[in-house]
Structure 1
Amino acid sequence: MKTRATPLRLAPLFGLLLFTMSAACAQDAAPEAKAAALVAKMSLSEKIGQLQSGAPAIPHLGIAAYDWWSEGLHGNARNGYATVFPQAIGLAASWDTSLLQDVGTTVSTEARAKFNASGSGHDHVRYQGLTIWSPNINIFRDPRWGRGQETYGEDPYLTGQLAVHFIRGIQGDDPDHPRAIATPKHFVVHSGPEAGRHGFDVDVSPHDLADTYLPAFRAAVTQGHAGSVMCAYNALHGTPVCARGDLLTTLLRQDWGFKGYVVSDCDAIDDMTKFHYFKPDNAQSSAASIRAGTDLDCGTAYADLLSAVQKGYVTPSIIDASLTRLFAARYRLGEWGDGSYPYAGIGMDQVDSAAHQRLALQAALESIVLLKNEHNTLPLHPGTRIAVIGPNADTLETLEANYHGTARAPVTPLEGLRERFGADHIDYAQGAPVADGVPIPIPETALRTAGAAGLKGEYFDNTDFSGTPRLTRTDRRIDFDWDHVTPIDGAKTRQYAVRWTGQWLPPGPGDYTLAIHVDRCFDCKGHDPVRLFIDDKPVIVDDGDDMHMQAHLHIDDDRPHTLRLDYVHSGEDQGVRLQWLAPAQAQLVHVTTTIRRADAVVAFVGLSPDVEGEELKIEVPGFDGGDRTDIALPSAQRALLEAAAASGKPLVVVLMSGSAVAMNWAKAHADAIIAAWYPGQAGGEAVAKVLAGDYNPAGRLPVTFYASTRDLPPYVSYAMKGRTYRYFTGTPLYPFGYGLSYTHFDYTDPTLSTSELAAGNPLTVSAVVRNDGDRDGDEVVQLYLQSLDDPHAPRRALVGFQRVHLVAKTSRTVRFELDSRQLSDVDAAGLRAVEAGHYRVYIGGGQPDYSEGVSEEFRINGSEALPR
């Protein structure tokens, strides 16, 4: 073992100059060669530091500090203002690969702009880098999983194709100079439960592994050419996946030809020791992981590789191989590039630019799914007076979802409807919380200052409220995301204080819970203090110790009460919300009064990132740790819908959620239903355009909406029997691929290139699609394959899709080219092949049995084994 006994001591600037000159002289060398030469100059301890996500600077080699952790799930995340697109599940509902590529391009462009602002060759801290840990392409096998919102749904083919195009957008079209590096995750077989995820062991059959859980990752690597892959927390058949060489080396690198680097999920290596009990210490867990092919540790467990080398658990050559892959990636990204690098000209003017804002609106529009429209209730007629109700009508968190950037000018549904229909045609009542026991932002109707809705906000550029406020304004509600931004334009410091004053207006007597929610930065030493005063008495005083601060008050009447909220931003916390839980009867009375003045009711119901998400601290009926125990609409919202329907006025239900919700009552009683997901910064404008008929909805469900939790297999089981549209034999509430339009499409003339196909040859399938309605619109043409001979094959499998636009009364021929993989199936041993037999293809606007379409049958003769 060789180490540098006396490292060369150079001034950081001079070292950087020498390194840059050396890199320039070797600019024609392959990144791997340059990386290997650089690694050879490092001491062992320096090498170990570079294998951890927070890689430190090595000044004498001109290497700046670089944190590999950056996020870009649906916008450049956790690093200030960015374009915030619909959550990933909403993007999937567009069924539009070109849209996903444009979104990926925007994400990496904004990441590159911020990287450039920090400067090439300079330190880049967490979330400032170009190695983006997205997309999440785990299969959304069970709607109870709280993180399913981050995925592209339940189908392997749809997920894979959307991932391929998102990755291409992230990385660009020059593999030698990627705009950023995409990291599909979590490899592999990872989709909850959140509780116990750090030590969960998945027992899955070879068939289900190859048929369901691997295909999207294969596509991401072989077609998308992802530069990185993240391995998951869980074990597979007793071995943590980050230590499985058969997955990370044999399958990923040898069989699929992966050339990039593998990073662990955060603290997954440490989990092997603490929760999987895979090895007795981190030295051995780290050695097993890097030997298997995990190059980079998100965490600090790899610090024990120094001991692992000394004890002979791993050889230095394996460490060098991983480092070479990592530094080759940094060379390709141009971390030490000069002004001539292809992306050097991307500036901060591209962050949330006008073009990106238009794309966010387009994405929100394309994601909306029309589920029901009885009696042509939608679009709403001009001049309609609308009662807007529901817990999701006016909240920021249900726009941004999780893993998000900070939206500069988000538009809630209430704001969007006021803008589109006129504020004088909109009345609003919140009506209910998302779920019993879960506080929600106090609505504008319960806050007043100087005769206007909301509170007076005084913004100080200091933390002791001294002097004259830099900014004074009226805030309709206190529901703010200020992650890595300041609400005071032009402020020279990110430390500030805000004092809100005014009146709190309880809608009626009863027991109230007032709450302050501060989005805490999870690895900070200190947090932002807050204080809430009601009638000049302190009811919540917190110096930064708790995320959820609550006070319980009994109110005997509905008179106004003075309110003051002091918030001091002295650390890195990310925003503040003033919330409540109000008496149910008082809120329903307010709803009933509001509806009396309306011609129609639009109810914004569903879930929120407060109840579904990653490892949340929540245990209320129906929810557990970020997952759900019941997929039904929470009872408080069901009561709200029943109260609205009792008015006899048209009821439009807008579901905002990150997953499927059993909307049985709404399906039976509401006049119209749309699914809007968590729609991003332009979500309110998009919903308003759809309700007004300015846009014809064409989204399709990327997941099955089941009728009941009882329809689901045990949550902890990863067996696919009874799961997703491919293996579920019951009757869904709404099927995968389902979605309506304001127009009508007809299918004719199905055509096959042959009715007798030799295994190994491609098959061309086509049909004529006609918009025979009176409105222009998009149609999502879906192609399904059914094996008529093999009882073990999926009931049906999506093998192609295209989103097409058709002017009213026009038609076009849509063609699909199916290759061997699309025509193949997987046997019990997990082997994929094209098999002889009788097959049917179906082309329509959804699945067979649930949409209008056409079908043709054909035979395959012979067989063809396919690589893994």
Structure 2
Amino acid sequence: MQVSKQDIEDTFDVPFKMCVQDGNVASVMCSYNEVNGVPTCADPNLLRNTVRGQWKLDGYIVSDCDSVGVFYNTQHYTTTPEQAAADAIKAGLDLDCGPFLAQHSEDAVKQGLLNEVDINNALVNTLRVQMRLGMFDGEPSVQPFGKLGPKDVCTPSNQELALEAARQGIVLIKNSGVSLPLSHRRHRTVAVIGPNSDATVSMIGNYAGVACGYTSPLQGIGSYVKTIHQLGCANVACRDDKLFSAAIDAARQADATVLVMGLDQSIEAEFRDRTGLLLPGRQQELVSKVAKASKGPTVLVLMSGGPIDVSFAKNDPRIGAILWAGYPGQAGGAAIADVLYGTTNPGGKLPMTWYPQDYVSNLAMTDMAMRSSQHRNYPGRTYRFYKGPVVYPFGHGLSYTNFVHTIVNAPHVVTVPLDGHRRSGNATVLGKAIKVNHARCNKLSVGLQVNVKNTGSKDGTHTMLVFSTPPAGHWAPSKQLVAFAKVYVPARSEQQVGISIHVCKFLSVVDQSGVRRIPIGLHRIHIGDVKHSVSLEAATLGVIKS
């Protein structure tokens, strides 16, 4: 795949850089794919210069399993396995997940492709982490973590944490006419329908450990009320309507209907990509027919790892509410029931844009460009650059109460001090943006004090998202998330939240050459419906000529 310097610096490197620099991770893994013609596990600019050099990784770099073998056997990046081993180690790879380096590194040294210093560097990076872990401190079983086992994983506090994580991750994306929460008094019998209605293992997603135990959606709802259970579809593929009539009958009998639909690892997983955004097979047809027949309110619960185009349900007045649960883990069913019955007030937000099905027709999977392009009929990617129609936007999420924001205190002007010792290179673009490395960043930030008022009758936790729209520029995003905070606010009360936005990290943008710059001028801060403008001005000290 081809990726521009701008997109690498602006988007793809950002989370990994934060993990290394802010999270102080001990390991980074390189992937199977090539970027701009070079396999990531053989790219010295990425591994040695960027991850270890610029970001100062204090740990080891490991391949995704058999990545080195893949770039020799499948991508044919090198002509011999010894050359592949040498290229990987010299690029900065320290540890191989798989046998390839063990099989070919010695011959690479014998052929003069690799020297002892390269081997030693890789060993030192790996052994240092092992030493930090205490692996050379004697008998493992007598060390502080030497006897950990399943009993330490499945403690009551850990299982409660799994439940709480699932509750907090659920997103209420539609709630017409206050369809939710359900009532114990009015909804004594609930039809629980759908291929994910009794899901267990699929709730923990891809690459998960062994669960301590499962609570399916059916079990969770059954702990509150009497249930009538029908699958409706034999599985998420939903290839026929053989089970439709029983599901429709259940909806006619019950006081409320909960449809648990969506995806699982048979649809989306490693080595298994979706080609579209709609619900699989005849799921949409089942949902619509059940909603039409339902005696009481109909709630659609979705399990998936990615967005689904549920425009039909969004626009169907018979479907009163929609919840997205992701893959909620072992306690997912209990968490879903807690939200359905109001024991938990939902506070989750969508972590990605939900696009309409038409979006994928103009977007090749291998085209990684972030910015839209009219002449290519390319829509762009993510809320930062895509301006077309959406099913639900990034950050969307409702609550059973209402929150109102008020900015109590915020600056109108912030001065960006320049480093007077830097004289080389262009400091500005038409005098409107300063190179980040020409600014004295340190703790330069925009501080906001925000009141969050709960105007409703239910206590709730609010996730406050802070966006910024930079001064106009054709390579700048239309907006970007610059801060967030989670705050618990009891009913009819308010809490004040302090927000600090680091100017160089979060109010900067990246130009077409991959250079990060701070745009001078008005930056518009958005928190819900509230807006505030901050003018960034360059200090007159140490002026750097363009």
Question: TM-score over 0.5 for the alignment?
Answer: yes
Deviation at 1:433, TM superposition (A): 4.0
> Deviation at 1:418?
0.8
Q: 1:638: how far off?
A: 0.7
Q: Which residue of structure 1 aligns with residue 516 of structure 2?
A: 832
Listed as ranges, the matches of 1:45-56 within 5 Å are: none
Are 1:602 and 2:258 counterparts?
Answer: yes
Equivalences, count:
498
Which residue is 1:387 aligned to? 191
Post-superposition shift, 1:833?
2.1
Alpha-carbon offset, residue 340 of structure 1: 6.7
Give distance in 2, aligned partners of 1:322 and 1:263. Answer: 10
Q: Structure 2: how far apart are the matches of 1:322 and 1:239?
A: 21
SS in 1 for 2:243: helix
Partner of 2:104: 304
Aligned to 1:654: 301
* Gaps in structure 1 of 5+ consecutive residues: 1-201, 439-580, 616-625, 845-852
- Deviation of 1:414 after TM superposition, in Å, equals 0.4
- Residue by residue over 1:100-141, the C-alpha shift from the partner in whole angstroms, topping out at 9 and shown as x without a partner, is xxxxxxxxxxxxxxxxxxxxxxxxxxxxxxxxxxxxxxxxxx
Q: Aligned residue for 1:818? A: 501
Is 1:663 the counterpart of 2:310? The answer is yes
1:367 and 2:17 matched: no
Deviation at 1:434, TM superposition (A): 4.4
Q: Note if contact 1:397-1:608 (Cα within 8 Å) is conserved in structure 2.
A: no
Deviation readout 1:736-772 (Å, 9 max, x if unpaired) = 0010000000011353234243254321122211001
Does residue 405 (structure 1) correspond to residue 205 (structure 2)? The answer is no
CA deviation after TM superposition for structure 1 residue 783, in Å:
0.7
Aligned to 1:745: 403
Most deviating of 824-833 and 761-770: 761-770
Residues 757 and 858 in structure 1, CA contact (< 8 A), matched pair in contact too: no
Whole-Å separation in 2 of the counterparts to 1:597 and 1:372:
24
Query: Which SS does the other structure have where 1:592 is aligned?
Result: helix
Structure 2 distance, partners of 1:373, 1:690, is: 12
Unmatched runs of 5 consecutive residues or more in structure 2: 372-379, 418-440
Which residue of 1 is the match for residue 489 of structure 2?
806
**Cα distance in 2 between the residues matched to 1:770 and 1:829:** 44
The 1-side partners of 2:337 and 2:12 are apart by 37
Q: Which residue of 1 aligns with 2:376?
A: none
For normalisation by structure 2, the TM-score amounts to 0.88
Aligned-CA RMSD value: 1.8
**Counterparts of 1:795 and 1:585, CA distance in 2:** 44
Question: How big is each residue's C-alpha offset from its partner over 1:250-269, in whole Å with a ceiling of 9 and x where there is no partner?
Answer: 11112111121100111110
- Counterpart in the other structure of 1:859: 535
Alignment of structure 1 residues 736-775 onto 2, 5 Å: 736-759=394-417, 760=441, 761-775=444-458
Q: Which secondary structure state, in structure 2, belongs to the residue aligned with residue 644 of structure 1?
A: helix
Work out whether residues 231 and 264 of structure 1, in 8 Å CA contact, stay in contact via their aligned partners in 2. yes
SS at match of 1:757: strand
Partner of 2:276: 630
The match for 2:436 is none
SS of 2:45's equivalent in the other structure is helix
Whether the 8 Å CA contact 2:405–2:530 is kept in 1: the answer is yes
- 1:643 alignment counterpart: 289
Distance 1:362 1:404 in 2: 18
Following TM superposition, by how much is the alpha carbon of 1:337 offset from its aligned partner in structure 2, in angstroms? Answer: 2.9
Alpha-carbon distance in structure 1 between the residues aligned to 2:500 and 2:142: 41
Written as runs of structure 1 = structure 2, the 5 A alignment for 1:139-150 is none
Q: How far apart are residue 343 of structure 1 and its match? A: 3.4
After TM superposition, the structure 1 = structure 2 runs for residues 299-698 of structure 1, keeping only pairs within 5 Å, are: 299-302=98-101, 303-338=103-138, 341-344=143-146, 346=148, 348-383=150-185, 384=187, 385-421=189-225, 425-436=226-237, 584-615=240-271, 626-649=272-295, 650-669=297-316, 670-698=319-347
> In structure 2, what is the equivalent of residue 788 of structure 1?
471
Correspondence for 2:382: 724
For 1:673, give the aligned amino acid: I
* Counterpart secondary structure, 1:856: strand
Residues 733, 434 of structure 1: CA spacing in aligned structure 2 closer, same or farther, 3 A cutoff? farther
TM-score normalised according to structure 1 size: 0.56
* Alpha-carbon contact 2:411-2:534 (below 8 Å) kept: no
Shift of 1:346: 4.7
> SS at 1:381's partner residue?
coil
Displacement of 1:585: 3.8
Partner Cα distance (1:296, 1:648) in 2:
57
Cα deviations by residue, 1:445-493 (Å, 9 ceiling, x for unpaired)? xxxxxxxxxxxxxxxxxxxxxxxxxxxxxxxxxxxxxxxxxxxxxxxxx
Verify the 8 A CA contact 1:368 1:698 in the aligned structure 2: yes
| Structure 1: 4+ residue segments shifted above 6 A | none
**Cα distance in structure 1, aligned partners of 2:485 and 2:215:** 30
Cα distance between partner residues in 2 of 1:309 and 1:706: 51
Q: Percent identity?
A: 34
SS of 2:282's equivalent in the other structure is helix
Cα distance between partner residues in 2 of 1:277 and 1:346? 43
In 1: Cα distance, 2:309 partner to 2:356 partner: 5
Partners of 1:743 and 1:347 lie apart in 2 by 42
In 2: Cα distance, 1:798 partner to 1:266 partner: 34
SS, match of residue 406 in structure 2: strand
Q: Distance in 1 between matches of 2:501 and 2:284?
A: 45
